[in-house]
Structure 1
């Protein structure tokens, strides 16, 4: 199908006011779009068949085991990790930290560093699910083999610096 980000950027440069119909015509004529879609379909369809076959293997017991793991183990472990990261963030910024209420959690907030809401997610959390999150996201990568964790608080740092700067004005 080609490097779509490069192709769409090329299209936008050549056709800044281009419509969806212009884009379809451009991709088909300038980048052999119909042929590329056929090739991509031939490549992807065997994977779809494998997913369908795997999906048919899922039974009630597997569903139960997955939900048990999610509810009992992952939830407990996730809250422990969030708690540890919040404590560390409090130390880093010399601020009190608090866990989010159920109402806050429904808004995508896991806790507060001072008055700043924050969300804590593993680095494996899908980017497309982060789009609606309006608070800084702190990510972590857990290395279970050596019991280490890497934390990225760059979004929070930017927000905290802005707030600190605004208070000085």
Structure 2
């Protein structure tokens, strides 16, 4: 069986679409600015996947004319939003020095690793605060029984929300489970109101 790969550049040339060339790193900076500015979001340029389906031709030039007739100001609006963000990036570039980069690397390597991987205590503390009681992490012999910590005197296990969906669980957990879901901006924690009366 034969396998072929067609690159995006090749697709562009096969479809006779005109794709410009950019200086090195330029597209990465414009892309970053666009992510922050939201310049090409559907509310500005339209829902592209739907629009391309509505277009009934096969020629690139006809598509360009059709799109610009539908959204005459979209390119300009998107450009303005991205230009503003590029200016913001230019301004901050002059403030980024070795000291700031070192702070960023330290935060990523040391702080975010710790916070990202050792968040069980934060979950226990948040649940204990909510239930107006104390907490503690499990001792090694308690961990061997599937216990991650205690809220008040109640032993608990802490598991990702995806754990609930796994049907064939090899381990049997005999204590209440506090579920968590990692989000971009933190952790969502789920537990039963009756947690302290579970014992």
TM-score normalized by the length of structure 2: 0.40
For CA contacts below 8 A with separation 6 or more, give which structure has more relative contact order. 2
Larger helix fraction of residues: 1
Radius of gyration: which is bigger? 2
